[in-house]
Structure 1
């Protein structure tokens, strides 16, 4: 026979103090909830291991990381993942554009390391040049909007020095999120032309240009070109990739597995519509939609200037940095 789990009550006591939230960190609460329950002395099951002293973890300055971690190879993986959102008019004017990004990290570091991340954000570079009493280096700078940090980031140092300093959690975590609305580098330009040739025929021409560097390439490019519901027959040609008509979504779906930078591809299609006896309703022309991933490219222009690791034992570390831009809501009116 088992009694209720008293370790859960300990965890609740740590969360609330006189009705006020005190500690909501899952990593700390896991240190309390370790027992299966208080067993009867007649139970044949083995006794539980003693509960670790979680109070030391809670009252310490770094509650999200436990002490005593050790790795044979100390590595840090940093990924900057961005989603670019676009709404463009049929004449090529940008109506709405922004980038939402995340800085994701995976740390396998021994001890209690202190990390410092430098980005090419405008405020950070200006603050750094001010502290060093010399002009900032030339190069593209960006302005980050709506920045939110993981709890491990030292906000006091960020407010005074504009540097991202932190003692990282072990394993994977999201270091920061941000948004950018100015100076967005669009990875693709889409130029559509749709002509209605009478009541039962249409002609569609779509040209897609990749604007990123010639040494880069996009993967999994999908262009969805809307057509009327009464489409009966399609005949099209593409310079790259494959295309087909999907009646379930009323779109021509054009797929390109690998799209090199600084190149262009075109789709030309003839659409035959079902002839109706009644009055023809005007077609609303939904926007063209795109899907893609561009490795080693950021639509915001964000770059990692440095990633430094300090630890009292002085071990060497290996740092890996990757960039990737994906399509969010990427639409072009036609």
Structure 2
């Protein structure tokens, strides 16, 4: 259905970009804008084409709302969806403009995630979406030359935002004020790196998780922040505190600004002297070795067979050394891709989107001179590289973020969970 959705300003600035199906690259944004500018008159056609990709757009509030597709849906369906998207932005943000979209980009991305599932429209009702949207809208404030008390020409805010220390023009002053007004946010990232070795019989031979909690604060002032972790969080096997669903790690280390007086009983980290000038820092690091709380996120079922004309393998692995090799493939879905890399002697299999609980398959056939039964012994292990959003393998979660200093407006709190494959090897 819908491959991509993006919003552009009248000057072609990229405001919102969301890829749902991986059918085209981000460069299509520039292709669309060039086609719009190349057309005579002020009313470009609603539907345009480029190398098998269809652009459907509407223009509202001085912005281009664009959807792309490689299929052949009704253009009226796509224009209605874009009109509903524009109406939802007005409902949530108060207006549809370049400034309101820039201030509420996270909210709009959350709307798109709920409105579309792999490019298929789900709902566009404001009342239904209110039950799922957690991000609060940021209302743009009008610029005033009379309110310059908090504009620091050489302060940390302007330096971090790369604003020139010269405010000789109205445009520069407006930029500084917008940056200071729109940075009332807290970002907390829980990042885990996974190292796994799985034997050829499916046995887990090695498992290691390296995790950290990163904090980035853009509040004007905050003397203390309290970060609550899982109540059943245990360090070491001898400190298990609960039954069944306890989160356990082997060891932890903390930033020097973290006070642990509430950690033992309440699992709360007190972070002192939180200021934007400190930048991003790691408040906690932890490690879990030799076991995983849950099964590994990916399993691979492979088989190797030799044919009279060559060999076929099901998997992704380094190939035997040969002067000439050719690859033929059968993939279970059209969005996958695979290629033979002669320099690294490997078959690279790419899957842009892997839904939970799904099973995908591929059949690779290698043909070349010098392949024999002994060549099967040269086949190396499979290496997987992936990123899992909204997931931690340890089960670590952030229960709450609380501030000690009251603020005029509630800050935006962003918590993200990401698991990366540091090294994920499956022997064949």
> Would the TM-score normalized by the shorter structure come out above 0.5?
yes
After superposing the two structures, state which structure 1 stretch, 139-148 or 264-273, moved more.
139-148
Q: Which has the larger radius of gyration?
A: 1
TM (norm. structure 2) is 0.50
Q: Partners of 1:329 and 1:319 in 2: how far apart? A: 31
Mark the runs of 5 or more structure 1 residues left unpaired by the alignment.
1-69, 126-134, 207-223
Shift of 1:149: 1.0
After superposing the two structures, state which structure 1 stretch, 159-168 or 232-241, moved more.
159-168
Q: Which has the higher strand share?
A: 1
Tell me the SS of whatever aligns to 2:377.
Answer: coil
Q: Which has the higher helix share?
A: 2
Matched, 1:268 2:379: no
Matched, 1:174 2:268: no
Matched, 1:101 2:211: yes
TM (norm. structure 1) is 0.63
Contact 1:75 1:108 in 2 (8 A): yes
1:137-156 correspondence runs (5 A): 140-156=245-261
Q: Partners of 2:321 and 2:222 in 1: how far apart? A: 62
Q: Partners of 2:371 and 2:312 in 1: how far apart? A: 19
Matched, 1:233 2:326: yes
Shift of 1:91: 1.4
Tell me the SS of whatever aligns to 2:349.
Answer: strand
Match of 1:253 in 2: 348
Contact 1:309 1:317 in 2 (8 A): no
Match of 1:75 in 2: 185
Distance 1:317 1:289, change over 3 A: same
Match of 1:120 in 2: 230
Higher relative contact order (CA 8 A, sep 6+): 1
Distance 1:272 1:239, change over 3 A: same
Q: Partners of 1:272 and 1:147 in 2: how far apart? A: 51
Q: Partners of 1:139 and 1:311 in 2: how far apart? A: 37
Shift of 1:161: 5.1
Distance 1:235 1:152, change over 3 A: same
Match of 1:326 in 2: 420
Tell me the SS of whatever aligns to 1:262.
Answer: coil
Shift of 1:72: 6.9
Shift of 1:202: 1.6
Tell me the SS of whatever aligns to 2:263.
Answer: helix
Contact 2:192 2:419 in 1 (8 A): yes
Shift of 1:158: 3.3
Contact 1:296 1:324 in 2 (8 A): yes
Mark the runs of 5 or more structure 2 residues left unpaired by the alignment.
1-179, 236-240
Match of 1:20 in 2: none
Tell me the SS of whatever aligns to 1:90.
Answer: coil
Contact 1:195 1:203 in 2 (8 A): yes
Contact 1:124 1:161 in 2 (8 A): no
Q: Partners of 1:332 and 1:256 in 2: how far apart? A: 17
Match of 1:201 in 2: 310
Q: Partners of 1:312 and 1:173 in 2: how far apart? A: 23
Spell out, residue by residue over 1:21-64, the C-alpha distance to the aligned partner (whole angstroms, 9 max, x if none).
xxxxxxxxxxxxxxxxxxxxxxxxxxxxxxxxxxxxxxxxxxxx
Contact 2:184 2:220 in 1 (8 A): yes
